[in-house]
Structure 1
Amino acid sequence: MTHTTLFVGIDVAKAKFDVALLNAEGKYRSKVFPNTASECLRFLDWLAKHDALGAHLCMETTGIYGRGLAHFLAQQQLLVSVVNPAQTHAFGKTELTRAKTDKADARLIARYCQMHRPAPWAPPAEEIATLQALVQRLEDLLGLQTMENSRLEAAAGPARESVEAVLQFIQQQIEMVRLQIHIHIDQHPDLKSQKERLSSIPGIGDNTAATLLAFLSPLERFHTVKQVVAYAGLNPRIRQSGQWAGKSPIAKTGNVLLRKALYLPAVVAKRHNPVIAAFCDRLLARGKRPMQVVIAAMRRLLHLAFGVLKSEQPFDPNFGVA
C-alpha cells in the first residue's frame, strides 16, 4: 500500500460528482464535475494541477452512476478504492458528523480513506463486466414490465392495445436477454461450473445464480461471509440504548440487486431446502415474525452460496445440517 499523504474523496451522483482533496495539513480543495466521460478527463487534469496523481482516491459503490468513473481512474493507473456506503456512514457516526451535503460527504470519504486506507479496486474481468451488464439490463426490463402491467389495468381501447404491444415487445426482450445470459455463462467454463454449484442449492435457480456470479465476483475480495452479507445489505442494523431495544431492520446499504435476487429464492428455500427449512422452523419457534424469518433465510442462502463458491464443492445438505 502506498504511503501517500494526499487523499481524495469522491461523492458520485447521477448528474455530477463532488471531489475533496485532503492534504497532510488537514486542508481541503473541493471541486464539482458533471458526471460525463469528458469531465473525467478534466478531473484528471485537476488532480495533475494539484500534484495529486499519486493520491489515494476513494468512492462509494453507487451502482451505474460511479461505474464509469471508477473504470476510468483504474485505467489511468491511479490508486482508487470503492467502498460500501455502510462503512463511510458508520465512520461518519464516530465523528458525530451532522452536515449532510455532497461536499461534506466527499470530505467524509476522504477522511475515511486517510484513516482506513481501503484496499485498491480493480475492474472486474471482461466476462464478469459483460454478465453484470446483462443482469442489470434484465432487471431494467423486468421493471419496465411491472410498470406497463400496472398501466394495463387502467387502459382501455386503443391505449390498451398500445400497452399490450409494448408488453409483448418487453417480454421478447426479456427472453432474449435471459438467453444471452445463459449462452454467456456456458461460454466461460469457470462461470459455468460456478453456476452448476450454485444451482445445486435448493431455492437457487438460473436467474439467481447469474446475479450472484455477476456481483459476488471476484470472490477473493471477501475474506469472511459477514463481508458478503454486508455487501448485500442484509446485515441487521442494531437499535439498542440502555435497557431499550428496538426492532433490528436490515441495513439496506449494499447491492440492491443481490437482495432482490435472494427474496423469492429464500421463500422457496424455506420449504424445499432442508438446511434453511430447519433453520426457519427454529426461528418461528422462538417467536420471530414471518418477514424476519424470510430475511434470515436470505442471509442463510447467501451463506450457502458463498460456501459452495469458496469450497468449489456442490451443496451438501448433510454437511449443512451438521
Structure 2
Amino acid sequence: MTDHNIGVDISKSHLDVFRLEDGAAQRFDNSTTGFRALTKWLGNASVARVVFEPTGAYHKAFEVALGGVLPLVKVNPLQARRFAQAYGTRAKTDAVDARMLARMGVAFDLEPQAPQSKNIRVLRDLHVARAGLIKDQTRLRNRAQTQDMSVLKRQTKARLTLVERQIAELDVEISALIAAQENTTRTCDILRSMPGIGAVSAAAMLTLMPELGTLDRKQVASLAGLAPITRQSGQWQGKSFIGSGRKPLRDALYMPALVALRWNPDLKEKYNRLRAAGKPAKVAIVAVMRNLIEIANALIKANRKWTPKAA
C-alpha cells in the first residue's frame, strides 16, 4: 500500500488539504465538522505524515482533534517558505502552501510528532497567560515610578494589585496541575533539585520542553536554540551565534543560569574559565544556560535528582 503524504494549510475558517501521491486537493471547514470530513476523505488509506504550519490560535483545534488520529508534523513557517522558494515556487496561496508542505514532508522525511497530553497543553496555555501578566506587572511598576498625579497613582496601584493576584492564582493552578500526575511531579522534583531552578522555572521548563529526558545533548541544545551556529566560508571566519529554537525557553533559563553561577560550583567554574579565556559575559552565560538544559535532560533521562560532585 502507498503511504500518503498530506499537506494542510490552516487558516481561520478553512483547511486546504493536498495529497501528494495522486494530486488530490480539497478544502474543509476549520471546525469539528471539517475535521470529521477530512478524516472521512482520507478513508482507510495509509498516511505517512500530515504536514502543517502553526498559525497562532487557528491550528490549535486541528492539532488537538487529530493529534491522536493522524501522524501530524508541525513545521517552522519560515523553513516551509524557504523550501518553497528553493523549489522554485514564487506564488503563495493556501492551495500552493498545502502542496509545498506535502512535498517538504517527503523531501526531508519528516517524522510525525508524538501527540501532547492534555495536561501539557493546559500548562502551556497557563504559562503563556502568566508570561503576559508578568509583562503587565513590569510595565505597571515602571509606570508607577514616573507618575506624580494622585489619581493615576491610585489607578496604577489598583491594576498592579489585580495583576499580582491573578499571577498568584495562575501559580496555584499550575502547581495543582503538575501535582495531579506522578510523572510531572517527579520531573519537577528532579528539576528543582538543581541549584538555580525554582518552582516557576521548573514549571516553565516542563511546559516549554516536554521532550526533556528523551533527547541527546545536541538535540536538547538545538531545540532550545542554545547551540552555536557556525558561519565560515573559505578563509572567512564569522562570529558564531545562537538562534531559532524555543525563545521562551531561553528566556526562562536566563535567571536560573545567573543563580547557578553563585550556587553551582561546576557551572561557576565553567563561567569563570570562559571569562578568563576572553569570552564576553553574555557568551559565558549562554554556555551556562546550555549546560543547565543538558544536565536537566540527563537527570530526567536517568530518573535521578541532582547531587553535588564528591570532592
Fold conserved (TM > 0.5)?
yes
Q: Secondary structure at the match of 1:8?
A: strand
- CA 1:158/1:266 → structure 2, altered by over 3 Å: closer, same or farther? same
- CA 1:244/1:278 → structure 2, altered by over 3 Å: closer, same or farther? same
User: Once the 2 structures are TM-superposed, how far is the Cα of residue 152 of structure 1 from its aligned partner?
Assistant: 3.2
Match of 1:238 in 2: 230
Alignment of 1:223-234 (within 5 A): 223-234=215-226
Alignment of 1:100-179 (within 5 A): 101=92, 103=94, 106-155=98-147, 156-179=149-172
Structure 1 position 21 matched with structure 2 position 12: no
Residue 287 of structure 2, aligned match among 296, 299, 303: 296
User: TM-score, normalized by length of structure 1?
Assistant: 0.80
- CA 1:148/1:61 → structure 2, altered by over 3 Å: closer, same or farther? same
Q: Secondary structure at the match of 1:6?
A: strand
Residue 298 of structure 2, aligned match among 295, 301, 307: 307
CA distance in 2 between counterparts of 1:238 and 1:232 reads 16
User: Once the 2 structures are TM-superposed, how far is the Cα of residue 219 of structure 1 from its aligned partner?
Assistant: 4.1
CA distance in 2 between counterparts of 1:275 and 1:174 reads 34
User: Once the 2 structures are TM-superposed, how far is the Cα of residue 199 of structure 1 from its aligned partner?
Assistant: 1.1
| Contact preservation (8 Å) 1:21, 1:29 | yes
Q: Secondary structure at the match of 2:309?
A: helix
User: Once the 2 structures are TM-superposed, how far is the Cα of residue 67 of structure 1 from its aligned partner?
Assistant: 2.8
User: Once the 2 structures are TM-superposed, how far is the Cα of residue 292 of structure 1 from its aligned partner?
Assistant: 1.2
CA distance in 2 between counterparts of 1:132 and 1:193 reads 18
User: Once the 2 structures are TM-superposed, how far is the Cα of residue 238 of structure 1 from its aligned partner?
Assistant: 2.4
Match of 2:174 in 1: 181
Structure 1 position 207 matched with structure 2 position 206: no
The one-letter code of the counterpart of 2:166 is Q
Could you report, residue by residue, the CA deviation over 1:76-99 in whole angstroms, capped at 9, with x for unpaired residues?
x22312245686578668x37684
CA RMSD, aligned part only? 3.4
Residue 273 of structure 1, aligned match among 251, 264, 276: 264
| Contact preservation (8 Å) 2:2, 2:46 | no
| Contact preservation (8 Å) 1:197, 1:314 | yes
Q: Secondary structure at the match of 2:297?
A: helix
Match of 2:242 in 1: 250
| Contact preservation (8 Å) 1:198, 1:305 | yes
Q: Secondary structure at the match of 1:128?
A: helix
User: Once the 2 structures are TM-superposed, how far is the Cα of residue 45 of structure 1 from its aligned partner?
Assistant: 3.5
User: Once the 2 structures are TM-superposed, how far is the Cα of residue 167 of structure 1 from its aligned partner?
Assistant: 0.9
CA distance in 1 between counterparts of 2:222 and 2:126 reads 24
Q: Secondary structure at the match of 2:4?
A: coil
| Contact preservation (8 Å) 1:271, 1:277 | yes
The one-letter code of the counterpart of 1:208 is S
CA distance in 1 between counterparts of 2:45 and 2:159 reads 49
Structure 1 position 264 matched with structure 2 position 255: yes
Could you report, residue by residue, the CA deviation over 1:279-322 in whole angstroms, capped at 9, with x for unpaired residues?
21222122211111111111111001101111111113328x9x
Match of 1:81 in 2: 73
CA distance in 1 between counterparts of 2:91 and 2:238 reads 25
- CA 1:180/1:236 → structure 2, altered by over 3 Å: closer, same or farther? same
User: Once the 2 structures are TM-superposed, how far is the Cα of residue 215 of structure 1 from its aligned partner?
Assistant: 2.7
CA distance in 2 between counterparts of 1:50 and 1:312 reads 41
Alignment of 1:30-45 (within 5 A): 38=31, 41-42=33-34, 45=37
Unaligned runs of 5+ in 2: none
The one-letter code of the counterpart of 2:229 is R
| Contact preservation (8 Å) 1:61, 1:82 | yes
Match of 1:6 in 2: 5
Percent identical pairs in the alignment equals: 28
